[in-house]
Structure 1
Amino acid sequence: MDKQEFNPAALDEVIHGKLRLAIMAYLSAVSEASFTEVKARTEASDGNLSVHMRKLEEAGYIEVGKTFVGRRPRTTLKLTANGRKAWIAYLDQLRQLTGS
């Protein structure tokens, strides 16, 4: 990787929020996760997780699916191709910051 000067303005503000960062990190390691699973992993409330999921979805970083299992609704989340690219770019920026 080229040694470039770190530019804090280049950090993706959509990802940089604490909960959105946790969501992106978790989803980058799995193919898909349920709302309940992400909620447990991030220790978020239903409402807070929903708000941050929506921001990531609006940015095109995650895909939210809604299905039913029996009569129970099931919400799933997964990274989109653009979300994975944005995640990798975000990690590259952090590496530049740390000099890694």
Structure 2
Amino acid sequence: MKHLIHTLNKAFDNRVRLGVMAVLMANEVVSFTELKEALDLTDGNLASHVAALEKVGYVSVSKQFVGKKPNTTYSASKEGKTAFQEHLEVLEKLLRG
């Protein structure tokens, strides 16, 4: 039988990705600026971590223009919500022993 630690989702190993998913789980849709400010990140740092989560299908990205300004928003995909919830459940089991 696999030890619980080996069942943690590697996509959430990084604290920034963990933070991104936590914010997205608590909010239906979050703008780039809101997410950047909530996690105190640089543009590039946030963009690279969101891209990694998007690549595995955990985050949905929507880009549009509001007037002449670009507006990027993010949301957790159904797969992302499930994966994150499973990750949290394993962490809880580890905490309980």
TM-score interval, smaller chain: over 0.9
Task: Report the counterpart of residue 69 of structure 1 in structure 2.
Answer: 66
Task: Give structure 2 stretches of 5+ with no counterpart.
Answer: none
- Helix, strand or coil: the match of 2:71? strand
Distance in 1 separating the partners of 2:83 and 2:3: 17
Task: Report the counterpart of residue 85 of structure 1 in structure 2.
Answer: 82
Task: Give structure 1 stretches of 5+ with no counterpart.
Answer: none
Q: TM-score, normalised by structure 2?
A: 0.95
Aligned partner letter, 2:74: L
Distance in 2 separating the partners of 1:42 and 1:11: 22
Distance in 2 separating the partners of 1:65 and 1:15: 22
Distance in 2 separating the partners of 1:45 and 1:36: 10
CA contact (8 A) 1:6 1:96 kept: no
Does residue 26 of the first structure (1) align with residue 26 of the second (2)?
A: no
CA contact (8 A) 1:57 1:63 kept: yes
What is the percent sequence identity of the aligned residues? 35
Q: Per-residue deviation at 1:16?
A: 2.0
In the comparison of the two structures, how many residue pairs are matched?
A: 97
Distance in 1 separating the partners of 2:88 and 2:13: 11
